[in-house]
Amino acid sequence: MADINLLPSEEKASDSLNSLQKKLTIVSVLVLAVVALFTVVTLILFTTEKGRESQLKADIEKSASQVAAKKSTEELLTVVSKKASSANKAIAARMIYTDIITKTAELMPKDVYFNDLKINGSKLSTSAKAKTSADVANLVSSFVTSDEGKKLFSSISIDSLATDADGNYAFSVSMQINDAQSGVSGQGAVTK
Amino acid sequence: MNLPSLTVGAGTKADSPIAEIGKFLIFAPSILAIVASISIAFFVVWPKFNEVVKLKESNKTLEATSVKLSDKVKALSVLDQSKLKTQLTSAELLLPSEKNIFPFIRQIEDIRNRSGVVITSLSVGTVGQFNSGKAKPDAGAPSAPAPVPPAAGADSDIAGSVSASVVEMKVSVTSDYRSILQFLNNLYAMARVTIVKDLSFSPTADGQITTSLVISSLWQPLPSDLPSIEAPLPSLTKADTDLLSKIENEGPISAPAPVPDVPKGRPDIFTKF
């Protein structure tokens, strides 16, 4: 048998409206509470950050005035540091030709001499004389195959070779100095 | 009998449109409250929240600046100004702030005397402009000596890499083999950073050697302004302090000899020596 609802339809509608109103009220209160919480949190964060900002600005101002008071020291350090570092770099990059000449002399066979010597950057060129062809060959091997020679020169090129009236060998030779020779001795380390 | 029939609800207040609207008016406060809350959140609180986020970011930057500055203050407070002044003197010997051509020539003459070579010729380029400090500003003349652009070559590469300028001196010397090597060694041992280039040795019949060379001496103008206050302090490396101490300890040996005073006053400006 079917249920019979004796409540009038107006009563039923009124109940559902009341229930809806209650739900809506709860939702509105929740939204209000969330917004209020968000507002309070935002305000607290804002106040905190503003306070921190003021504190940091005060700290910066204080430190800036302390730095300004030591400006002369900073200027001194800046100049000294720049000059010292530039000088060090320049000294490290320059070639100490006296070392190169001395080492070249040590490596040369006894019966070879230079008529002149030109040094331009990392290139040495000379016109030389040797007693025998073996001396020329030894000069080449000494400069490019010996350990000391390899440290000093990266390449050697004999541009001309001829005997003169005395039977000596005249030759022109150019040598490329190794980049590693730059600033080997450093500032003031050379023999006085 | 025909009685009028009565329809329930027909013609009552409950069925009127006003009554229908009235039924829904009970939701108005809740809906209004929700709308107002969302509006406040969207138009007032959210922008403020964004402001807080931005403030937090800017505070991070401020904090970094503050830390940098306080570190700088600490670093500055431990520096010894008198020691720095001594180091500056050494640094000026290494890389003068001006061309200082006359002290440079004096140094070369000094080295010549100590090495036993004879300088047969010596030439420098433009010596430079000297101001008494009382000259009126001239529209055509530069107000301050401009740094000399470095010449092309190995020395200019070195000078360019360290932002320095170069003074070049062309020298021809005559000496024996040992003396020219001594002369070159003394040049390298000079306090002022010097680069030797374009060397040409020509032995003569009497056993002497004629040498021509270019002596490039570096100089570096003082910086015109300091970096920003937040920039970290430059630091001296061990190599820097060692070099400065070395120059400081060598003292007058490597320092340029002062240009000597000479007798002054002539009766006639055209009379020869």
Q: How many independent structural domains does chain A possess?
A: 2
Nearest residue of chain B to residue A33 (CA atoms): B37
Tell me: do B73 and B87 sit in the same domain. no
Q: Is residue A143 part of a domain?
A: yes
Question: Quick one: A64 and A111 in the same domain?
Answer: no
Q: Are residues A177 and A126 in the same domain?
A: yes
CATH code, domain with A151: 3.30.1360.100
How many domains, in total, are found in chain B? 2
Q: What angle do CA A109, A111, A115 make, to 5 degrees?
A: 100
Contact A63 B237 (CB under 8 A): no
Asked whether residue B74 is assigned to any structural domain, the reply reads yes
Q: Has residue B40 been placed in a domain?
A: yes
Same domain? For A177 and A113 the reply is: yes
**Chain-chain contact of B58 with A53 (C-beta, under 8 angstroms):** yes
**Is B5 inside a domain boundary?**
no
Closest CB from A27, A71, A116 relative to B202: A116
- B102 with B42, same domain? no
Give the largest Cα separation in chain A, rounded: 147
Q: Is residue B41 part of a domain?
A: yes
Is 0.85 exceeded by the ipTM? Answer: no
Residues B62, B161 share a domain: no
CB proximity A58 to B under 8 Å: no
**Do residues B179 and B204 share a domain?**
yes
pLDDT value for B130: 64
| Residue-level pLDDT at B175 | 94
Name the minimum distance, in Å, from the CA of A88 to any CA of chain B.
7
Q: Is A78 contained in some domain? A: no
- pLDDT tier for residue A1 given thresholds of 50, 70 and 90: low
User: Does one domain contain both A65 and A104?
Assistant: no
Domain presence at residue A169: yes
Q: Do A74 and B92 touch (CB under 8 A)?
A: no
Verify that B248 and B201 share a domain, yes or no.
yes
**CA-to-CA separations, B37 to A31, B30, B31, B43, B46, in angstroms, rounded:** 7, 10, 10, 10, 12
Q: Are residues B71 and B158 in the same domain?
A: no
The one-letter amino acid at A52: R
Q: What are phi and psi of A141, to 5 degrees?
A: -65, -35
Q: How far apart are CA B163 and CA A45, in angstroms?
A: 50
Q: Measured between CB atoms, which of A45, A67, A80 is closest to B87? A: A80
* Residue A83 near residue B91 (C-beta atoms within 8 A): yes
Structure confidence at residue A179 as a pLDDT band (50, 70, 90): confident
Q: For B197-215, how does the pLDDT look when each residue is reduced to its tens digit (9 = 90+)?
A: 999 999 998 889 999 999 9
Domain co-membership, B28 together with B154: no
Q: Are residues B205 and B249 in the same domain?
A: yes
Contacts of A90 in chain B (CB under 8 A): 158-159, 161-162, 164, 193, 195, 218
Asked whether residue A39 falls in the same domain as residue A107, the answer is no
SS3 A72: helix
Are residues B195 and B108 part of one domain?
yes
- Identify any residues that bridge with B228 across adjacent strands, giving them in sequence order: none
**A contacts of B33 (beta carbons < 8 Å):** 28-29, 31-32
Which range of residues forms the domain containing residue B65? 20-78
**Residue A83, in any domain of the structure:** no
- CATH number at B246 reads 3.30.70.60
Is residue B272 a part of any domain in this protein? Answer: no
Nearest CA-CA distance, residue A36 and chain B, Å: 8
Residue A22 in any domain: the answer is yes
Mean pLDDT is lowest, of A34-38, A77-81, A155-159, B252-256, for B252-256
Range of the domain at A115: 97-181
Cβ neighbours for A174, distance < 8 A, ≥ 6 positions apart: A123, A124, A125, A126, A156, A157, A159
Residues B114 and B98 in one domain: yes
For A67-92, the pLDDT digits (tens) are 999 999 999 999 999 999 999 999 98
Residue B12 falls inside a structural domain: no
Whether A59 contacts chain B with CB within 8 A: yes
Position A168 in a domain: yes
Q: What band does A2 get if pLDDT is binned at 50, 70 and 90?
A: low
- CA B217 to CA B212: how far, in whole Å? 16
Ranges in chain B, pLDDT < 50: 1, 5-13, 137-152, 252-253
What's the mean per-residue pLDDT of chain A? 87
Q: Check CB contact of A191 with chain B, cutoff 8 Å.
A: yes
Q: Is residue B3 part of a domain?
A: no
Please write the tens of the pLDDT for every residue from A41-76. Answer: 999 999 999 999 999 999 999 999 999 999 999 999
B99 within a domain of the structure (yes/no): yes
Burial class (CB in 10 A: 0-12, 13-18, 19+), A145: exposed
Question: Could you tell me if B162 and B38 lie in one domain?
Answer: no
Q: B157 and B210: one domain?
A: yes
The minimum CA-CA distance between B258 and chain A, rounded to whole Å, is 21
CA A127 → CA A112, A141, A152, B14, B95, distances in Å? 11, 18, 19, 128, 38
Looking at A69, A85, A118, which one is the last position of a domain? A69
